[in-house]
Amino acid sequence: MKRISLMAAGLLLAGLLAAADIMKLAEVKPGMEGEGRTIFKGSTIETFTFKVLGILDKFVSDKNLIIAELFAPELKDSGVIAGMSGSPVYIGGRLIGSVSYGLSNFSRKPIAGITPIEDILKAAEAPGPAANVEISDIKIDFSRENARFVSEAIRSELTARMNFSPARSLEPIKLFASSSGFSPESVSFLQGIFVPLQSMAVGKEIDTRKLGADMFSLRPADAVAIPLIRGDASYSATGTVTHVDGQKVYVFGHPFFNLGSVDFPLHKAEVISVVPSYESSFKLAATRNPVGAVTQDRFSSVVGELGKVPYMIPLKIFLKNRNRSFNLELVSHPLLTPALTYISLVNALQTEYQEFGFQSLSVSGKIFIEGEDNVVLEDLFSGIAAADEFSTLVMAINYFLMNNREKNARIQKMDFEISGREAVKKAELENVLVDKNSYHPDEPMQIEMMLKNEKGADFSEKITIQAPNLKPGSVFYLMVADASAVTDFDTKAVKSAYFPSDLGALIRAINNIRKNSRLYLKIFVPAQGVFIRGFEYSYLPSSVGNVLLYNSLAKDQANMAISTVAEYQYEVPAVVSGKKVFKLRIKERKNE
């Protein structure tokens, strides 16, 4: 089979292809033969041939798909190659569309689905904002269980969007994930979305080459990458350019994540080699210099704009006792940013601290939000899952922030300072001693907390708190417990779910997340109250209470079965667990 090297006539070819005639779908017939263009190695555009087998009618309600068999030595034993998404195909020199879909079920025969060029061009005209990515059944809850639930929901949503196909036998050609500085374990969160990660140390030849116009322009069939993370470490998805029309660039021929209007970076890419595989053959590629930004992520194509600069979120991770910093940039998107933050944090922690085994992480971090208070995180995480637990919590926080119900939360930057120890720092609350069982109003209460550390050694902590100023004879309760137990108790005491309706209340709720390294002493009484926008209101006048209770279905308030009189916290130099509850009383006047 004859193959044509097009490198020598690169600039001339770019002009010719940009002005290529269009062949509409109605003109394409079974049996027609044509030529496709892609890069199998380096930046040299090469050709392959194809034969139209038929037209798949109503691939989706208003779209058809051209089915063709491809012919090239590189495709003979590998089937359609991941990274070929977007490769332009021509009949008689007229552009008919791009190679975008391949056969599923480990097929080695290069049967491809070709997205018609008419549908590809329409993607640039798609109106409207970004697609709605709200995940149902998510509640404001920062427990480990709910954070994991959020994590799995995000992963499932991304996978479903990336791999969606209306036809069972055809699926979008997977994009190849190339990276630098990421471990396979850290990016396993995206397993099933891209071709399995191949981390490479590929030299940046761009640094030593003379700058030229070709570095900042694109031709049909060029390899391109969309970096989701870039900086000291990078993570990109690679595909092929279908068509260039002035500053507009059309790539992939299928969705990236089908997110609608987006703002992602667009870079040139270099193909290192083609790797055959029974499961999914792919192009081994490296991300090169930026050329623009992706503006549309639609079902039939991804559209970019040359010269546009995307908005990225700076993320700095400083590992204090390693004196090591990771400076990264993440794409800004309500669904992707939380996942990418998780990947970046896990990777940094696994890189410098013990990858497998026990560890403790002391974390101090801030998330800066435009026009709002900062989100502040200060806590300790310990155990074999410390890195994952911390990273999952931050992922959940970012999800809640970026999908709040009031307005777009623009994250300006994220800074984290982390100190790690390859040792467990845990403690168990064994017992609590209270000096009395009845007190005068406002009388000091002497509390001694008996604990046992991870090595079995006993130690105690003493604290003095104040008895509540209640009526004589009143019963009150004292609970001494870890953060998770107190949060679980509060959740059960609130009779309906609470989701802050405004961003400020949400940030306040996040900043009030209880800490792992604290024991909480909560004094409460049974009392009907109302929880409104993050605050408890109890002992309200009946007229006010009735009005508020009448509105108890509002999403920013909930009924409460208990009322918190006071809450104290005591820092313990470990991740603490345990719970003790005491029933106490305010002394009668006759006993005074």
Distance CA 426, CA 453 (A): 6
Distance CA 168, CA 235 (A): 29
Q: How far is CA 339 from the centre of its chain?
A: 2
Residue, of 275 and 161, whose pLDDT is higher: 161
Q: Are residues 574 and 537 in contact, defined by beta-carbon separation less than 8 angstroms? A: no
Q: How confident is the model at residue 75 (pLDDT cuts 50, 70, 90)?
A: confident
Tell me the pLDDT tens digit for each residue of 514-524: 999 999 999 99
User: Residue 513: what residue type?
Assistant: I
Q: Which two tokens stand for residue 358?
A: 């026990």
pLDDT at residue 168 in the model? 61
Is the pLDDT higher at 425 or at 183? 425
Structure tokens at 75: 């495709």
State percent of the chain over pLDDT 90: 51
58 backbone φψ class: left, alpha, beta (φ>0; ψ -120 to 50) = left
**Nearest to residue 524, comparing CAs of 536, 540, 534, 542?**
536
pLDDT at residue 167, rounded to an integer: 63
Q: In 3-state terms, what secondary structure has residue 389? A: helix
> Is the confidence at residue 345, as pLDDT, over 60?
yes
**Using DSSP, how many helices (H) and how many strands (E) does the chain show?**
9, 30
pLDDT band at 7 (very low <50, low <70, confident <90, very high): very low
With CA atoms as reference, report the closest residue to 64 among 259, 296, 297, 299.
Answer: 299
- Residue 22, CA distances (Å) to 46, 65, 94 in order: 21, 16, 5
Task: Please indicate whether residue 149 or residue 12 has the higher confidence score (pLDDT).
Answer: 149
Kindly report the three-state secondary structure assignment for every residue of 220-264.
Answer: CCCEEEEEEEEECCEEEEEEEEEEEECCEEEECCCCCCCCEEEEE
Q: Which of 247-261, 280-294, 364-378 has the lowest mean pLDDT?
A: 280-294
pLDDT of residue 240: 92
Q: Is the pLDDT of residue 71 over 60?
A: yes
- In DSSP terms, 249 is beta-bridged to 244, 304
- What's the pLDDT tens digit per position in 449-502? 999 999 999 999 999 999 999 999 999 999 999 999 998 888 777 655 556 778
Among 395, 385, 335, CA closest to 193: 335
Kind of pairing between the strands at 223-231 and 260-275: antiparallel
Residue 11 confidence class, pLDDT cut points 50, 70, 90: very low
| Reported confidence tier of residue 90, pLDDT bands at 50, 70, 90 | very high
Residue in the block written with tokens 């994250």: 411
Band (pLDDT 50/70/90 cuts) for residue 161 is confident
Q: One-letter amino acid identity for 258?
A: N
13 pLDDT band, cuts 50/70/90, is: very low
* pTM for this entry: 0.84
| Type of residue at 171 | E
Over its C-alpha atoms, the chain yields an Rg (Å, rounded) of: 30
CB 445 within 8 A of CB 522: no
Report DSSP state, residue 152: H
Q: By mean pLDDT, which of 18-22, 332-336, 444-448 is the weakest? A: 18-22
Q: Which residues contact 544 (CB under 8 A, 6 or more apart)?
A: none
What does the pLDDT average to over 313-325?
A: 93
Specify the DSSP element, H or E, that contains 547. Answer: helix 542-550
Q: What CA–CA distance (Å, rounded) separates 123 from 301? A: 6
* pLDDT range class, residue 552, cuts 50, 70, 90: very low
- Check pLDDT > 70 for residue 137: no
C-beta separation of 412 from 368 below 8 A: yes
447: Cβ contacts below 8 Å, ≥ 6 apart:
432, 433, 434, 435, 462, 463, 464, 465, 478, 480, 521
Whole-number pLDDT of residue 271: 78
Confidence of residue 53 (pLDDT cuts 50, 70, 90): very high
Look at residue 198 in the predicted model and tell me its pLDDT.
Answer: 47
Residues 555-571 have a mean pLDDT of 77
Q: What element of type H or E holds 569? A: strand 557-571
More confident residue, 372 or 269: 372
Question: Between residues 209 and 171, which one has the greater pLDDT?
Answer: 171
By mean pLDDT, which of 3-7, 26-30, 171-175, 295-299 is the weakest? 3-7
Partnered with residue 21 across adjacent β-strands are: none
The predicted-structure confidence for 371-393, as pLDDT tens digits, reads as follows 999 999 999 999 888 999 999 99
Percent of the chain with pLDDT strictly greater than 70: 77
What does the mean pLDDT of the chain come to? 82
Q: What is the pLDDT of residue 6?
A: 36
In 3-state terms, what secondary structure has residue 155?
Answer: helix
DSSP annotation of 495: S
Residue 43 pLDDT: 80
Mean pLDDT of the 86-105 span: 90
Check if the beta carbon of residue 366 is closer than 8 Å to that of residue 414: yes
Of 363, 369, 437, give the one whose Cα is nearest residue 404. 369
Q: Contact 461/568 with Cβ under 8 angstroms?
A: no
The half-sphere exposure of 185 on its side-chain side, counting CA atoms within 13 A, is 11
Which residue has better confidence, 158 or 546?
158
First to last CA, the chain: 105
Q: pLDDT per residue over 226-247, tens digit each?
A: 999 999 988 888 889 999 999 9
d(Cα 263, Cα 268) in Å, to the nearest integer?
17
Output phi, psi for 456, to 5 deg: 90, 5
Q: Which two tokens stand for residue 177?
A: 């994930």
